Structure 1
Amino acid sequence: MEAAHAAGLLALAHVTTQGAAELAVEAGVDGLTHMFMGGEGLRPLAERMAAADVFVISTLALYAALSGWPPPASLDGRIATRLNAPTRAALGRPPAGFPELPGAGTAALATAEVLHLAGVTLLAGTDANDGPGRPFPTVHGAGLHLELERLTSAGLTPAEALSAATSVPAARFGLRDRGLVRAGHRADLLLAEGNPTTDITATRSITAVWQQGVRIV
């Protein structure tokens, strides 16, 4: 942590347990790259994290997948129609080589709620990647829509969840040219039907996408 800060860098830690989170916070971490499952003493830890301005990347959709939510059969049609068959089947399915954790989704969500109430900044993130031989259950793109929904279940307003996926991470990681719809910023834009500031699932009703000013959908 000290070497990173001396070099002008952020110091991040990958944690999954409250003990690891406590160790990282004590060492001076800037952010945690996983939600963790809290227990006794979580509230004092959350207050220390808020006071130290430590952020957490949420990954709630991953914990939900490990606990069997949502089953692929229940996938929102607005997302399902944009995915190929292997990706559609993977979404929400426990990944190969990982143990199923029936209570993981609920426990991670409860931790996120305590952190949010304490004033800890949450950034939307899914841990999306490709597993051995098949897509991971929190697939790129589609997994983020589920993450936004989980963040609102943890107590964030839809507007706060949108910020957690756009302007807040851009600011935290010093990306000064993106994250906001503003002159001089990258024109990475999503046009959706409906109002995601009142219904976060409206982000799934995509009508157009622009990447650096070029329409791609």
Structure 2
Amino acid sequence: MPLKELAERRALLHRKSDAPTLLRHALDDASIGPVAMVSSFGADSVVLLHMISEIDRATPVIFIDTEMLFEATLTYQRELAETLGLTDVRVIAPNRAALLERDVDGILHHFDPDACCALRKTEPLERALDGFGGWITGRKRIDGGARKSLPLFEKSERRIKINPLAAWTAQQVGDYITHHDLPRHPLVAQGFASIGCQPCTTPTGAGEDPRAGRWRGQDKTECGIHFAQGKPLRGAA
């Protein structure tokens, strides 16, 4: 079955499913194949990570250490993985030779943020996803921009991308975290509604989209690991 049709069928099948049910089915869907979760261990990541830990703690979880993350994120990743008992967290780093060739001084993000994201996130993720037929993301429509029409399942290049929290509201996220007494990323308390690399992330103001603090002042709201029609998402395109 073509991937686009498969994604549409699964989205229709699970249009009324809750997130844990959708996750269970996706992880055991032979038509999709092996599935990994890709997590930034960011502001809201604990919700899906907790659900995964309740379903199957051995689910592969891919975490990309761009080597420009906040130290708080690295600490949170280690502590949360241990707290939830996740047994297959794969910490992925950029290719060392590529870094030396293309960003030896670590300043690429200043003059070409797209190239920096490709080097430090997109390319490492593509290598990490080799062998997987699908991957789980924590994206939500409330994030705004290109995510406002986010489907539950979508074709993404050669794989199916699964977005269990697509329709969730900020209230649902907060309620889930409170109900399960889950630890939040420490930077959330400092006004960071979305957390990426340190040089390109700022706190979010009242009334702003959650991702407004990412690449502030630039025509860029996505790092490039998410695609539409074969092209990296940018802005509200």
The alignment's TM-score, normalised by the length of structure 2, stands at 0.28
Pick 1 or 2: higher relative contact order, CA cutoff 8 A, min separation 6.
Answer: 2
The alignment's TM-score, normalised by the length of structure 1, stands at 0.29
